[in-house]
Amino acid sequence: MSYIRCSQLSVGYGGKAVAKDLNFEVNPGDYLCLVGMNGAGKSTLMKTLLHLLDPLSGEIKIGDGLRSYEIGYLPQQSAHQKNFPATVWEVTLSGTATQNRRLFYTREQKDRCEAKLRQVGMWDMRRRSYRSLSGGQKQRTLLARALCAASKVLILDEPVAGLDPAAMNQLYRITGELHAAGVTIMMITHDLRAVEYATHVLHVGRRQHFFGSREAYQKSRHWTMLQEWEEGTMDL
Per-residue pLDDT of the chain (236 residues; tens, 9 = 90+): 799 999 999 999 989 999 999 999 999 999 999 999 888 899 899 999 988 999 999 999 999 888 877 888 888 866 556 667 899 999 999 988 865 566 678 999 999 999 999 999 999 999 999 999 999 999 999 999 999 887 789 999 999 988 889 999 999 999 999 999 999 999 999 899 999 999 999 999 877 899 999 999 999 999 998 888 777 655 44
Asked if 84 and 24 touch (Cβ cutoff 8 Å), the reply is no
Which pLDDT belongs to residue 195?
Answer: 94
- The one-character DSSP state at 5 is E
Which pLDDT belongs to residue 207?
Answer: 76
Give the number of C-alpha atoms closer than 13 A to the C-alpha of residue 49, restricted to the C-beta side. Answer: 30
Interior angle at CA 86, CA 84 and CA 89, nearest 5: 125
Give the number of C-alpha atoms closer than 13 A to the C-alpha of residue 68, restricted to the C-beta side. Answer: 8
Which pLDDT belongs to residue 219?
Answer: 95
Which pLDDT belongs to residue 143?
Answer: 92
> Among candidates 102, 27, 97, which has minimal Cα distance to 69?
97
Q: Give the global pTM.
A: 0.86
Asked if 40 and 204 touch (Cβ cutoff 8 Å), the reply is yes
Question: How far is the C-alpha of 30 from the C-alpha of 21, rounded, in Å?
Answer: 22
